[in-house]
Chain A
């Protein structure tokens, strides 16, 4: 069993919940485990990911609807409901969420390594040569927020 397969969904969920409570919502309870859905159910998806390189290499991939990413950016940047989110802020905010979630997951690895800068794209990273370790279906304010862990 690799270090990455030692991650369990409860750990990942707990870290993500802590990130959202501290950085985004100001209180716990808005991000929670939900029933599994297929990533293909996302409408106009947006992806953010960071790669971890240590004795094993892995990827933490966040998948949401673009509308959810807009709401996430508004919440992180403390913007008003009607305030438009610029593309640069959207990419920056969603990428930073991936960075903080990924960085805290990296800390769970027995051998520390490096974390790449976050990447954000409307297309998912290539899964060629990768193995899905776990997919954690979460909901944030009722919207699908999917975290998946991949071995590279």
Chain B
């Protein structure tokens, strides 16, 4: 499976990518929503996008809206990974088309739990052994 990690923080991209790699994902990175859209428009395909909210150029919510406006990308599962933890913000993101929401700070186990809910943990890793 392939994941696109979208965050303006290189540190956070590295952390999220490391967790996903441990779960068997091949990962790619983008520093903002625009860069992420560029990768999709170039024809790259991903099973999962992990999306920060507060980013320069194009924020995470704008990215979610743009993806949902294009039927060609309807199979992309989108998970917000952000400090925006207020209930109204979560509702906005889910209403715009995000599938899940993970609040920073998070542990690797918390991310894995969210991906299990989405059915996006490789089967060999979803039966209890550590990643």
CA A73 – CA B10 in complex, angstroms? Answer: 11
Q: Given the interface contacts A73-B11, A112-B89, does A117 sit within 8 Å of B105 by beta carbon?
A: no
Give how many A-B residue pairs fall within 8 Å (CB-CB). 62
Complex alpha-carbon distance, A18 and B103, angstroms: 12
Stretch from A4-12, A63-71, A85-93, A142-150 contacting the other chain: A85-93
The reply to whether A22 and B105 form a contact with Cβ atoms under 8 Å apart is yes
Interface size class of A (residues with CB under 8 A): 20 to 34
Does the CB pair B9–A99 fall under 8 Å? Answer: yes
Range, interface on chain B: 20 to 34
Question: 0/1 per residue, B1-40, Cβ < 8 Å to A?
Answer: 0000000111110110010000000000000000000000
Give the contact stretch, choosing among B68-76, B77-85, B114-122, B123-131: B77-85
CB neighbors of B among A86-143 (8 A): 88-89, 92-93, 95-96, 99-100, 102-104, 106-107, 112, 115, 117
Contact B8–A117 (Cβ < 8 Å)? yes
Contact check, B88 vs A89: say whether CB atoms are below 8 A apart: no
